[in-house]
Structure 1
Amino acid sequence: MLPFLLAGSLLAGSVAASAADAVRAAGLHRSRSPPPKVRGEGFIRAPLSIVPPTAESFKRLMARQNEVEVKNIWSGTRYTVDVEIGTPPQTVTLILDTGSPDTWVNPTCETLLAGIQECRKQPFFNSTKSSSFNKTQRINYLQYGSGTAIVQWVFETLTIGSATIEEQIIGINSWSENIPNGILGLSPPVTGNNDYPYVLDTMVAQGLIKSRAFSLDLRGVDNPTGSIIFGGIDTGKFIGNLVKLPMLPASQTPLGAYRYYVTMTGIGVTFPDGQVVRSDEITVPVFLDSGGTFSQLPPEIVQALASVFTNAVLTRDGYWLVPCGVTEFPGSIDFYFAGKTIRVSFNDFILELDGICVLGVLSSEDEYVLGDTFLRAVYAVFDQDNQEIHLAQAANCGTNLVAIGSGPDAVPSSRGLCTALPMPTVSAGVKSLNLQPTKSVNVVDTPGPTGIVAGPGPGGPSRATTGLPELPTINWQIPKWDENESAVGRAAGVGMMMMIGAVVANMMWLC
């Protein structure tokens, strides 16, 4: 392979322009107009939108709109949805979380490490103004990866999109720590047993949808629109077929928790020059968590990915800093599953804030998570009833809503309407990679963004230190890169070191 330095000056502008033209021609250029709320026979769509990554939006926790939407707030890249609670309805903003099952409102803003004033400006639910409010005597302590909450359970009317759920059990927070919004929980119960009917359960029981299934289209960091569809899919939002993956039973997950776990079978990189490299076959249990900004993978995988980027440095807190010029190139981090490859562009996988660029994956020894840095590039269907997850490469070529039925094979086997981009021409074929890193790690005595970013939901089993699946020895031979720094690489490296301290407080994530 020819030496290739991932920095801003090495690809001609014509290459980037032609790539952009190809994206538009293939239907992958995503519309910036938020889709309307839609209610059909057996499905409910709640539009979601993403606040553009401007300096102002880094600090804002919400931007009011007239319709239900999810927002990618870069101050933590959380995806939030506006719902209505009570009678008459009061609008509140909740974090969309596939890593926990409970729904609650009214966070404690004073405990946040950043964004306290913005948190206080968001609307809070006032139970004294609702005629449908009915509290119980039950109080629970909920623990998350980077925060906690103490809630009292109540019965209340909840409206999501255009659908109203009567007497849904939700929590009213009395004290939370380091959580900037309430939460809309959409995961299965982590213990495998429902303590009460969750939102998906009640939607089915009240005939709003036919099965406990929903599809998620989060969209990339540069796109303000997306959607969650309860009880349905949109075939105009993905390429090819949805591959069906079984959810792993709790006994096969690292912490013995019942979550949206599937098996990842490989990892790789597609370089801007067209070369593709990937690992040998692996077996890594990963769970899909929209409540976690970063992904978390075994250390050997993370170091191998980071080693691809010239001038990557590791902070003492475990964050990999990379030159921001990388995001301008049409390369991708590639995730392999049985029968499907999901490619996440460098632009979506590398997080940027005030000139600091962080690789969107952290090392973990116990639990492996595919968070928002992965989910932005995938169209995902979560089917609790059949314990299956369906994945396809996300795109946007129109709208065609199809309801999810009930029983086995409830998720339609429809093919996506979008056309795939032509694959890079690789004269030497796919190269084998070695996940046993040999390159020394450059650790800098600089703190990274604070907080834990995976999203273990409340009520999970105790963490275990044994019984983790053993990873096989895998061939991941890192190619030799040009060690000369480019102007972009030097500037990015210096900027990272000078600015990281100033932005630490702005990079907090719910898990």
Structure 2
Amino acid sequence: MKFTDAVVSLLAVAGTCRSAVIGQTSSPALKLSFNKWHGPTYEDSSLERRSLVARDNKNVNFEVENQQNFYSVDLQVGTPGQNITVLLDTGSSDLWVTANTNPYCESNAGKKDRKGADESEGGAVQSDISVLMGTGGGPTATSESARTGTYPSQSETGPGLAGSPPKATMDCSEYGTFDVQNSQSFRSNKTDFYISYGDGSFASGYWGTDRVNLGDLSLDGVSFAVANETNSSVGVFGIGLPENEATFTPDPSLQGFHPYQYRNFPQVLKSKGAINRAAYSLFLNSLNASSGDVLFGAVDRSKYTGDLYTLPLLNPEPEKYKNPMEFDITVQGVGFMNGSSKTTFTTTKIPALLDSGTSLVYLPQALAKGIAHKLGGSYHDDIGYYVIDCPPENDDSKLVFEFGGFSIKNSLSNYLLGSPDKVNDDQCVLGILPSNVQAILGDVFLADAYVVYDLENYEVSLAQASFDDSKEDIQVMSDSIPGAKKAPGYSKTWSAPASVKSGGNIFTSSTGKGKRDRVAATATSASGSARSTSGVPVSSQDVANGFSPSMLALLNAFILSFIL
């Protein structure tokens, strides 16, 4: 492949232009710029980060307009290329697109996709699949199926719609659908695909390979799924770890499944010589910016300040999986600062997922409550969020996440989903939710972080993001991540669940005179309270129930899943 210096705008899908830009240089690196959309759903989103609207101040009945962020990328799939919009996601690992026969699409009710079920020509299929398969027991070109079990007929039931046929209510033409019959290069590998999400959305279909074009870069033999039935109007461009592929982490209810891994998009880029290393850098840009970018195979030094520190990924289930499945890292403390005032909420080690497919931040219940209390807020059951007093416009308050020798500072403004300024401008909804399932650092955190995802070494590197629009300083990855060094607390990772305890001091350097204080607050009687060394009250019941079930929080986590 000949690399040029051209920057190529992808063709826009019919309707609103939700495009990406592909940049290629003479060095093996690929820059993909994406549009950032904000709104309750992708269909109702806009490039502008909108504020909340208060309908009734007395009842705190907010309409949360800016719940989610979406990062759209336009691909050309097949031969000739068909324009399709997908949503970029580091929290999943598969590329899937919507078939033109999806019965949830208007005018498609009753249609069936025949080509995926037909016998494919042997020689061409074997050539394409051999490029994509890993070394561990995946299906071959001659195997009839990767498994003997079958999925339930989605046209009869559909996940979450038991007993109901699909309702053709979506206009799928805006974001594009894939017609396998019109692609000369598509090959089905005759294995089933299925994925579901916490918000009730799902996609069901089959796997295959075809050509994928991004600007001037054309990749043959890319493995992806064709969803001939999905209640989501737009597909997903997952670029996570291979261990998190749908073929490797199947639905546990399926019978006879034989898990396997394949080369997903970052790995295909490396195998085709487009990049030297299966790794990429993510720069979401400020939350108010209309675009961000992902740089495959390189680091842009102009996009961050200070040092780039490396952390190992966690593997919470080593007895089941040899390697980490997701981008989970250890948070070693959380604090708050406003000018010279500094508060430490906790120094309890917390496993947290870095996920660009999640808009907000989810923290253990006791910690989320402690932060909201520090900000003078309280939880409102009727809307499922913490509500705080809005800070002044010139407020410089920051949430601080400590990772073992370095920290990422987040502007508090990132966490304000918006202010009901048309009716009542003294209250704001806080973008931190309690979760007893998993801590997640979503977009409101990632906006202030420059993150390098190393799929080969199972590591991530983080630095404070820079928004000064300085000239690009791109350094290509090879045997290592340019400019990165191990964090001082690299080996001090989370190892077992523990109740979140208040206290400690993340603002005192672990080297030099001040040794970090990790003494937890002592809880009083059940009716009393514990107070951290920083003066943040946390009830003893909150501390004891740091990971206790909270159905409302779990429901919120599901509703705010990235794909609708």
Asked if structure 2 preserves the Cα contact closer than 8 Å seen for 1:92 and 1:122, the reply is yes
Question: Please, which runs of 5 or more residues in structure 1 have no aligned partner?
Answer: 1-33, 64-72, 416-423, 441-472, 481-503
Map 1:137-148 to 2 at 5 A: 137-146=190-199, 147-148=201-202
Residue in 2 that maps onto 1:465: none
Aligned counterparts of 1:280 and 1:86: Cα–Cα separation in 2: 51
Choose the corresponding residue for 1:130, options 183, 195, 219. Answer: 183
Residue in 1 that maps onto 2:93: 101
What code does the residue aligned with 2:44 have?
K
Residue in 2 that maps onto 1:182: 235
Provide closer, same or farther for how the CA distance between residues 358 and 327 of structure 1 changes in structure 2, counting only shifts above 3 A.
farther
Choose the corresponding residue for 2:465, options 387, 394, 418. Answer: 394
Question: Please, which runs of 5 or more residues in structure 2 have no aligned partner?
Answer: 1-19, 49-64, 106-157, 162-168, 250-258, 422-426, 486-506, 508-513, 538-555
After TM superposition, give the deviation of residue 142 of structure 1 in Å.
Answer: 1.1
Asked if structure 2 preserves the Cα contact closer than 8 Å seen for 1:276 and 1:431, the reply is no
The question of 1:220 aligning with 2:277 is answered no
Residue in 2 that maps onto 1:340: 406
Residue in 1 that maps onto 2:16: none
After TM superposition, give the deviation of residue 45 of structure 1 in Å.
Answer: 0.3
SS at match of 1:153: strand
Residue in 1 that maps onto 2:5: none
The question of 1:412 aligning with 2:482 is answered yes
Residue in 2 that maps onto 1:92: 84
Provide closer, same or farther for how the CA distance between residues 328 and 175 of structure 1 changes in structure 2, counting only shifts above 3 A.
farther
Per-residue CA deviation, residues 271-309 of structure 1 (Å, 9 max, x unaligned), is: 2x4412123432111111111112221111111111122
Residue in 1 that maps onto 2:328: 261
Residue in 2 that maps onto 1:229: 295
Per-residue CA deviation, residues 442-473 of structure 1 (Å, 9 max, x unaligned), is: xxxxxxxxxxxxxxxxxxxxxxxxxxxxxxx9
SS at match of 2:210: strand
Aligned counterparts of 1:399 and 1:253: Cα–Cα separation in 2: 43
Which protein is richer in helix relative to its size?
Answer: 1
Provide closer, same or farther for how the CA distance between residues 58 and 359 of structure 1 changes in structure 2, counting only shifts above 3 A.
farther
After TM superposition, give the deviation of residue 367 of structure 1 in Å.
Answer: 1.7
Choose the corresponding residue for 1:201, options 251, 264, 267. Answer: 267
Aligned counterparts of 2:284 and 2:236: Cα–Cα separation in 1: 16
Asked if structure 2 preserves the Cα contact closer than 8 Å seen for 1:253 and 1:261, the reply is no
Residue in 1 that maps onto 2:148: none
Choose the corresponding residue for 2:451, options 380, 384, 390. Answer: 380
Residue in 2 that maps onto 1:403: 476
Aligned counterparts of 1:305 and 1:217: Cα–Cα separation in 2: 26
Map 1:432-451 to 2 at 5 A: none
After TM superposition, give the deviation of residue 268 of structure 1 in Å.
Answer: 1.0
Per-residue CA deviation, residues 126-167 of structure 1 (Å, 9 max, x unaligned), is: 333322222232112112333321121121111235432211
Aligned counterparts of 2:172 and 2:319: Cα–Cα separation in 1: 35
After TM superposition, give the deviation of residue 331 of structure 1 in Å.
Answer: 1.3
After TM superposition, give the deviation of residue 413 of structure 1 in Å.
Answer: 1.4
Choose the corresponding residue for 2:226, options 172, 191, 215. Answer: 172
Aligned counterparts of 2:173 and 2:521: Cα–Cα separation in 1: 46
Residue in 2 that maps onto 1:47: 33
Aligned counterparts of 2:21 and 2:390: Cα–Cα separation in 1: 31
Residue in 2 that maps onto 1:156: 210
Asked if structure 1 preserves the Cα contact closer than 8 Å seen for 2:36 and 2:70, the reply is no
Asked if structure 2 preserves the Cα contact closer than 8 Å seen for 1:300 and 1:436, the reply is no
* TM-score of the aligned structures, taking structure 2 as reference length: 0.61
What code does the residue aligned with 1:148 have?
F
Provide closer, same or farther for how the CA distance between residues 476 and 221 of structure 1 changes in structure 2, counting only shifts above 3 A.
farther
After TM superposition, give the deviation of residue 95 of structure 1 in Å.
Answer: 1.4
After TM superposition, give the deviation of residue 55 of structure 1 in Å.
Answer: 11
Asked if structure 2 preserves the Cα contact closer than 8 Å seen for 1:300 and 1:437, the reply is no
Provide closer, same or farther for how the CA distance between residues 314 and 93 of structure 1 changes in structure 2, counting only shifts above 3 A.
same
Residue in 1 that maps onto 2:44: 59
Provide closer, same or farther for how the CA distance between residues 184 and 57 of structure 1 changes in structure 2, counting only shifts above 3 A.
closer
The question of 1:38 aligning with 2:24 is answered yes
Provide closer, same or farther for how the CA distance between residues 302 and 60 of structure 1 changes in structure 2, counting only shifts above 3 A.
closer
* TM-score of the aligned structures, taking structure 1 as reference length: 0.67
What code does the residue aligned with 2:76 have?
E
Provide closer, same or farther for how the CA distance between residues 103 and 36 of structure 1 changes in structure 2, counting only shifts above 3 A.
closer
Asked if structure 1 preserves the Cα contact closer than 8 Å seen for 2:400 and 2:407, the reply is yes
Asked if structure 1 preserves the Cα contact closer than 8 Å seen for 2:47 and 2:290, the reply is no
What code does the residue aligned with 2:189 have?
T
Provide closer, same or farther for how the CA distance between residues 57 and 274 of structure 1 changes in structure 2, counting only shifts above 3 A.
farther
After TM superposition, give the deviation of residue 327 of structure 1 in Å.
Answer: 6.5
Aligned counterparts of 1:254 and 1:437: Cα–Cα separation in 2: 36
Aligned counterparts of 1:197 and 1:54: Cα–Cα separation in 2: 33
After TM superposition, give the deviation of residue 401 of structure 1 in Å.
Answer: 0.9
After TM superposition, give the deviation of residue 380 of structure 1 in Å.
Answer: 0.2
Per-residue CA deviation, residues 336-366 of structure 1 (Å, 9 max, x unaligned), is: 1022211111222222287684322222223
Provide closer, same or farther for how the CA distance between residues 266 and 82 of structure 1 changes in structure 2, counting only shifts above 3 A.
same
What is the alpha-carbon root mean square deviation over aligned residues? Answer: 3.9
Provide closer, same or farther for how the CA distance between residues 314 and 55 of structure 1 changes in structure 2, counting only shifts above 3 A.
closer
Provide closer, same or farther for how the CA distance between residues 437 and 164 of structure 1 changes in structure 2, counting only shifts above 3 A.
farther
Work out which of the two has the higher radius of gyration on C-alpha atoms and give 1 or 2. Answer: 2
Aligned counterparts of 1:384 and 1:174: Cα–Cα separation in 2: 30
Aligned counterparts of 2:319 and 2:442: Cα–Cα separation in 1: 17
Provide closer, same or farther for how the CA distance between residues 57 and 125 of structure 1 changes in structure 2, counting only shifts above 3 A.
closer
Provide closer, same or farther for how the CA distance between residues 250 and 102 of structure 1 changes in structure 2, counting only shifts above 3 A.
same
Aligned counterparts of 1:170 and 1:200: Cα–Cα separation in 2: 13
SS at match of 1:251: coil
Per-residue CA deviation, residues 225-255 of structure 1 (Å, 9 max, x unaligned), is: 3210111110000011110101112437999
What code does the residue aligned with 2:183 have?
S
The question of 1:475 aligning with 2:460 is answered no
Residue in 2 that maps onto 1:277: 343
What code does the residue aligned with 1:259 have?
E
Aligned length: 391
Provide closer, same or farther for how the CA distance between residues 245 and 359 of structure 1 changes in structure 2, counting only shifts above 3 A.
same
Residue in 2 that maps onto 1:69: none
What code does the residue aligned with 2:32 have?
A
